[in-house]
């Protein structure tokens, strides 16, 4: 497990003892054993496990083969393992079917173990346990290649006494909380301050523009404290006022879901005068310039949303238009909801849907058979898809792919390939059905929402199943022909 000076278990142990100094005496043999490993090459036996808590304050357990006692997912650390937490997360994926993106850190512990079990008197084996919460409600868990069955047990039924005590004392409720903080910094001219990150593959969003900010550390009393510390450390900035604006979700470098508290603050200085200690540069950008930058879709959408709420010229998008659902009232510079503007006629909000177009190595397209009780297209084949909420279409696609199929999709790998503008019946609400191709993804399609979908199958475009949602067929045909746009129900198809 690497050299003595950089032993990750030793680092974890010291961080753990900072929180539990009363356990230093009982864990001293482990420190001694790590020293013996350096000298003799034969270290202690260490198992790393993941304690996953849901919103009902239950802990995820597995029963290998469906028999025997329920245990926390985990395995013994091997010499080639460099990151103990990664060992625990890998076992969750392997044994339960959960993905790393289904889990998130807790503010109470972050990367520090919640428990390190004292060895039995007859052996030299230690259990290191990391705490995670479910990032989403009711993800599907199932055994995989190890044929492990899953159980959710209440906190007071956890078999390890030390772990049970720490869980009950922690007050953990299983509800995800932000563990990172970012700053949406704006001036009085409709501009936003963006940070160009270093192009190092080991960091989050390398070589991209992003917001300033970072992860919570144990000594931070609040996420605002986290952000103020990060702003001082990264750029020497101290803003007089930071106001909570939104909570956004992202996937971290370790694959975990990261809830981010975004604060908004005003600053009017020259970024070239700041003592930047991380990244390449800081620059002001107007929202209409963002499409020219390497920038995550969620950050771009966040800036536009804030600009729209401010109601000035910053609210305009790249094409000069106001964000969907708003118009500019005559004689004012602000934005007003369409429904609130007397005399505005003919403006009908369109429902926006995001659809996932995947092809396997044989050119077959992934389609799902919808549940017979589905409100739309029951017992009919369709793309993985969903309606956009308060999010960009790409963010919606990434979310729906994970929720419906368990696939992990990176926004940078998403490519727009077709739009179906459809009205199902005369007078019904129009719908903009956006179809995106993804050529790279992680995972294997599986039914994650059995109340909505019965199965996922790969189909040749020349032998599509029946019944198939009509606009899905039109989109597949058009994509094969290289066409970007189709209308249905408007008198032309």
DSSP secondary structure of 286-351 = -GGGGGGS-B-HHHHHHHHHHHHHHTSGGG--TTSPPPTTEEE-TT-SSEEEGGGSTT--S--PPE
The rounded distance, in Å, linking the Cα atoms of 156 and 165 is 8
- Helix (H) and strand (E) counts for the chain? 8, 24
User: Cβ neighbours of residue 227 under 8 Å, at least 6 residues apart?
Assistant: 181, 182, 183, 213, 214, 242, 261, 263
Q: 168-214: per-residue pLDDT in tens?
A: 988 888 888 888 999 999 998 899 999 998 887 767 678 899 999 99
CB 460 within 8 A of CB 452: no
Q: 363-407: per-residue pLDDT in tens?
A: 999 999 998 877 678 889 999 999 887 789 999 999 999 989 999
Q: Which residue has the tokens 């979700």?
A: 249
> Residue 119: its pLDDT value, please?
60
> Residue 37: its pLDDT value, please?
61
Q: Which residue has the tokens 């078999």?
A: 159
> How many beta carbons lie within 10 A of that of residue 396, not counting itself?
23
> Residue 327: its pLDDT value, please?
31
Tokens of 462: 């020349």
> Residue 335: its pLDDT value, please?
31
> Residue 70: its pLDDT value, please?
86
> Residue 346: its pLDDT value, please?
52
The rounded distance, in Å, linking the Cα atoms of 78 and 86 is 12
> Residue 185: its pLDDT value, please?
96
Going from the C-alpha of 225 to that of each of 81, 260, 263, 334, the distances in angstroms are 34, 14, 11, 33
Q: What is the DSSP letter of 404?
A: I
> How many beta carbons lie within 10 A of that of residue 51, not counting itself?
29
**Weakly modelled stretches of the chain, pLDDT under 70:** 1-6, 37-43, 65-66, 119-123, 138-148, 202, 204, 311-347, 375, 426-427, 491-493
> Residue 475: its pLDDT value, please?
96
Tokens of 118: 């004292």
């Amino acid at each position: 497990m690497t050299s003595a000076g950089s032993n990750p278990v030793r680092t974890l142990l010291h961080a753990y003892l900072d929180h539990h100094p009363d356990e230093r005496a009982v864990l001293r043999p482990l420190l001694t054993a790590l020293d013996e490993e350096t000298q003799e090459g034969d270290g202690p036996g260490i198992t790393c496990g993941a304690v996953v808590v849901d919103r009902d304050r239950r802990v995820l357990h597995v029963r290998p083969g469906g028999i025997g006692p329920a245990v926390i997912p985990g395995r013994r650390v091997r010499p080639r393992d460099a990151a103990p937490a990664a060992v625990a997360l890998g076992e969750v994926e392997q044994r339960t079917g959960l993905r790393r993106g289904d889990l998130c850190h807790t503010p109470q512990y972050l990367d520090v173990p919640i428990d390190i079990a004292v060895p039995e008197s007859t052996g030299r084996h230690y259990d290191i346990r990391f705490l995670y919460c479910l990032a989403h409600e009711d993800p599907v868990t199932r055994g995989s290649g190890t044929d492990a069955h899953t159980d959710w047990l209440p906190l007071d039924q956890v078999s390890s006494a030390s772990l049970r005590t720490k869980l009950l004392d922690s007050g953990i409720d299983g509800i995800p909380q932000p563990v990172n903080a970012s700053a949406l910094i704006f001036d009085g001219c409709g501009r936003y301050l963006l940070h160009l990150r270093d192009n190092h593959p080991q960091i989050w969003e390398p070589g991209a523009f992003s917001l300033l900010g970072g992860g919570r550390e144990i000594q931070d009393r609040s996420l605002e404290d986290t952000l103020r510390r990060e702003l001082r450390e990264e750029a020497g900035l101290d803003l007089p006022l930071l106001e909570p604006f939104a909570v956004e979700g992202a996937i971290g470098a370790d694959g975990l879901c990261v809830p981010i508290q975004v604060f908004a603050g005003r600053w009017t200085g020259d970024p070239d005068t700041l003592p930047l200690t991380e990244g390449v540069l800081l620059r002001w950008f107007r929202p209409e310039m963002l499409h020219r930058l390497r920038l995550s879709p969620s950050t771009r959408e966040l800036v536009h949303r804030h600009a729209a709420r401010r109601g000035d010229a910053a609210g305009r998008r790249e094409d000069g238009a106001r964000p969907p659902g708003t118009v500019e009232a005559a004689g004012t510079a602000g934005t007003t909801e369409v429904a609130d503007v007397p005399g505005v006629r003919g403006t009908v909000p369109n429902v926006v849907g995001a659809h996932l177009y995947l092809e396997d190595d044989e050119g077959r397209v992934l389609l799902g058979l919808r549940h017979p009780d589905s409100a739309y297209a029951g017992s009919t084949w369709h793309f993985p898809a969903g309606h956009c909420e308060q999010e960009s279409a790409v963010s919606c696609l990434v979310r729906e792919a994970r929720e419906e199929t368990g696939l992990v999709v990176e926004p940078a790998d998403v490519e727009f390939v077709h739009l179906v503008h459809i009205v199902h019946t005369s007078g019904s609400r129009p719908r903009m059905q956006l179809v995106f191709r993804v050529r790279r993804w992680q995972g294997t399609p599986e039914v994650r929402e059995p109340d909505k979908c019965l199965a996922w199958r790969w189909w040749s475009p020349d032998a599509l199943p029946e019944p198939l949602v009509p606009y899905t067929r039109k989109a597949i045909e058009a994509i094969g022909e290289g066409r970007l746009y189709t209308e249905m129900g408007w008198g032309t198809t």
